[in-house]
């Protein structure tokens, strides 16, 4: 791939992604400013933004012929057992972090919630692992160094874009960045080894389902987080750090590329 084309596609994709996320946040705050705090309306807004991001990601993946590298076609699932830890550990963490407070919700709230979880799982995996990581590998090379750099760069980008949800104070935002980055490294390594993106989409959706189930039907204004203390942030970061270690372990332990013949 020519260097100019690589940068053009990367910049265009980044602009599209940031525009989608920024417009979503602006519209959400405008709705709140006009006292429109309905769970259904805000969830529908998030779903629409995710669907647009899915379509944009698919467009860039196809345009740059990254389907195979992204694990969308031309490959079979390998080493499926490596998916067990990400699913089991993150579901367990989300169960531990969740409050036991009971909430009342309508059936439509749950339907929208399920659709939302699926949309965010597909949107984030297609955009970050599907396009960004694969695009970087296509440029940096399908070597161990190139793959490792691609995994870490895309994971860090995945973490940084969570700053757009500035609703938990500086400490809380830094926690979100580290949380998403650690998980991004793990998911990135798993994708390179298993060679299929669809399982990660489903796992991502399940994790979000468990993590946000307690918030179904809750008005948006009540979902805005309290500032996170440094102590709590360090504890959460420590609990999530095994995801980073798992990703690094996979990249060290398993062959990331096929031996050159």
Q: Please list the pLDDT of the chain residue by residue as tens digits (261 residues).
A: 578 899 999 999 999 999 999 999 999 999 999 999 999 999 999 999 999 999 999 999 999 999 999 999 988 999 999 999 999 999 999 888 777 656 678 899 999 999 999 999 999 999 999 999 999 999 998 888 999 999 999 999 999 887 766 555 566 667 788 889 999 999 999 999 999 999 999 999 999 999 999 889 888 876 665 666 777 778 888 999 999 999 999 998 876 544 433
Determine contact, residues 192/142, Cβ cutoff 8 Å: no
pLDDT given at position 172: 66
The enclosing H or E element of 60 equals helix 39-63
Q: Would you say residue 260 lies in a domain? A: no
Quote the radius of gyration of the chain (alpha carbons, Å).
18
Range of the domain at 202: 3-253
Q: Would you say residue 44 lies in a domain? A: yes
Q: Would you say residue 217 lies in a domain? A: yes
pLDDT given at position 144: 86
Q: How many domains does the chain have?
A: 1
Q: Would you say residue 261 lies in a domain? A: no
Q: Would you say residue 259 lies in a domain? A: no
The pTM assigned to this predicted structure is 0.91
Q: Would you say residue 258 lies in a domain? A: no
Q: Would you say residue 106 lies in a domain? A: yes
Determine contact, residues 40/180, Cβ cutoff 8 Å: no
Q: What angle do CA 221, 224, 230 make, to 5 degrees?
A: 160
What tokens were used for 125?
């995996």
CA distances from 216 to 21, 45, 49, 200, 210 (A): 21, 15, 19, 23, 11
pLDDT given at position 256: 57
pLDDT given at position 261: 36
Q: Would you say residue 64 lies in a domain? A: yes
pLDDT given at position 98: 76
Determine contact, residues 134/125, Cβ cutoff 8 Å: no
**Of 164, 152, 155, 148, which Cα lies nearest the Cα of 127?**
155
* Burial track 75-94 (b if 16+ CB lie within 10 A, e otherwise): eeeeeeebbebbbebbbebb
| Residue 164: Cβ-neighbour burial (10 angstroms; 0-12, 13-18, 19+) | middle
């Amino acid at each position: 791939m020519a260097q100019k084309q690589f940068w053009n596609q990367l910049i265009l994709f980044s602009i599209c992604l940031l525009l989608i996320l920024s417009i979503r946040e602006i519209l959400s705050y405008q709705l709140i400013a006009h006292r429109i705090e309905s769970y259904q309306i805000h969830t529908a807004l998030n779903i629409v933004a995710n669907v647009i991001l899915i379509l944009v990601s698919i467009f860039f993946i196809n345009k740059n012929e990254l389907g195979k590298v992204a694990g969308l076609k031309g490959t079979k699932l390998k080493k499926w057992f490596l998916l067990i830890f990400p699913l089991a550990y993150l579901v367990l963490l989300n169960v531990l972090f969740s409050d036991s407070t009971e909430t009342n919700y309508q059936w439509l709230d749950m339907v929208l919630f399920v659709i939302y979880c699926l949309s965010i799982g597909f949107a984030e995996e297609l955009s970050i692992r599907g396009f960004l990581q694969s695009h970087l590998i296509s440029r940096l090379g399908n070597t161990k160094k190139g793959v490792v750099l691609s995994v870490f760069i895309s994971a860090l980008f995945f973490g940084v874009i969570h700053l757009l949800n500035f609703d938990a104070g500086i400490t809380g935002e830094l926690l979100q960045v580290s949380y998403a980055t650690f998980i991004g490294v793990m998911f990135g390594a798993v994708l390179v080894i298993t060679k299929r993106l669809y399982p990660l989409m489903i796992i991502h959706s399940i994790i979000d389902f468990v993590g946000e189930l307690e918030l179904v039907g809750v008005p948006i204004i009540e979902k805005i987080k309290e500032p996170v203390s440094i102590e709590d942030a360090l504890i959460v970061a420590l609990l999530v750090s095994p995801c980073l270690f798992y990703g690094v372990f996979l990249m060290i332990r398993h062959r990331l590329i096929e031996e050159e013949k």
